[in-house]
Amino acid sequence: MAGAAQGGAEAFFERLVLAQHRAGLSVLAVIRREAGRAARLAAGGVAPVQLGFGGPLDLLTAPRLRAVLRGFRPQVTVAWMNRAARFSRAATGRGAEWALAGRLGGAYPLRHYAGCDLLAANTRGLCEWIAGQGWPRERVRHVPNFAADLLGAAPAALPFPPGAVPLLAMGRLHPNKDFATLLRAMALLPAETHLALAGEGPERAALEGLARELGLGARVAFLGWRQDVGALLAASRMLLVPSRIEPLGNVVLEGFSAARPVVATAADGPREVIEPGRTGLLVPIGDARALAAAITSVLADPAREAALAAAGRAAFLSHHAEPAALAAWSGFLDEAAARKRGAA
């Protein structure tokens, strides 16, 4: 995995690797050099190999990765997103003993995955997109994400005054997440409504400027990137997901897990996992007034707030908890290995 230091796909990579290790799978994590990720994996019992995973002039990572894989002798190598797929393909080459699988969490260019025996996609909609691009339908599988069980976490301390109504949003501060629309929705809500925004990214300065322009002041707290997701959810009344582009939205699953009502835009991922009106609310993308109205409707009706939270929690236990996802990943890895054996 050659991703960024922070991000939803990167966090799920760590969660999956450690869960597979706890389940007894012999797993080796090979990552781009990143001290925090390496420390978290090592603390969980999986000491990672760290390589450069650089740009086009990086001539060292592929042969080093090939040597690591030959030493570990895996049955399956899983390439986690584009750059890892490019280097894994170069490291695998002809005559490799292991299957090469690719894992996609979005509509990535499929040229990076040429040579993969099997692809994993984290939503059914993404499976359909991959097949629509010409990838053989029989070589793509829906393998869902899972969230940690966050219910019961001790609430985090948020920098809001007594009596504030705390709302939470989390994610990379990037135009795709559209936190600007969320700030505009906040300006339409009563003054006692406050927002904790956990994340970092290139839009931070612009979002801070917009918050000042809207007169939100101390009603919005920019928390930076946080690892204590359960504690933040425990301290909040609801989770808000205003994304314009969201292939899945791991934060939605985390909101379900923590039994918090989720209000999200109807992007691809939330639309697939939320049952509107039962496990959460969906609003049009980019519509601040609709988002504010949905938030208001939940806060004004405690019975509805509790029902959304309970239904989301039930959906988490049935579909998005660790055991079901690990079983799906086990089946995927077994199939990838069998395809390699059949082709040998």
Distance CA 242, CA 178 (A): 6
- What's the CATH code of the domain at 194? 3.40.50.2000
Distance CA 145, CA 325 (A): 6
Q: In which element (H, E) is residue 316 found?
A: none
Residue 165 CA, chain-centre distance (Å), reads 26
**Contact at 8 Å (CB) between 84 and 17?**
no
Q: Is residue 53 part of a domain?
A: yes
Whether residues 131 and 198 fall in one domain: no
Supply the DSSP symbol for 51: E
Distance CA 286, CA 243 (A): 8
Q: Is residue 130 part of a domain?
A: yes
Domain total in the chain: 2
Whether residues 47 and 110 fall in one domain: yes
Distance CA 270, CA 246 (A): 7
pLDDT tens, per residue, the chain with 344 residues: 999 998 888 999 999 999 999 999 999 999 999 999 999 999 999 999 999 999 999 999 999 999 999 999 999 999 999 999 999 999 998 778 999 999 999 999 999 999 899 999 999 999 999 999 999 999 999 999 999 999 999 999 999 999 999 999 999 999 999 999 999 999 999 999 999 999 999 999 999 999 999 999 999 999 999 989 999 999 999 999 999 999 888 999 999 999 999 999 999 999 999 999 999 999 999 999 999 999 999 999 999 999 999 999 999 999 999 998 999 999 999 999 999 988 65
Whether residues 55 and 198 fall in one domain: no
**Contact at 8 Å (CB) between 146 and 324?**
yes
Whether residues 83 and 193 fall in one domain: no
Give the range of the structural domain holding residue 292, as residue numbers without chain letter.
165-320
What Cα–Cα distance (Å) separates residue 16 from each residue in 80, 141, 200, 241, 293?
Answer: 11, 17, 23, 23, 36
Predicted confidence at residue 8, as pLDDT, reads 85
Q: What are phi and psi of 104, to 5 degrees?
A: -115, 135
- 257-314 residue pLDDT tens: 999 999 999 999 999 999 999 999 999 999 999 999 999 999 999 999 999 999 999 9
- Look at residues 162, 114, 122, 172 and name the one whose alpha carbon lies nearest to residue 142: 122
Whether residues 108 and 172 fall in one domain: no
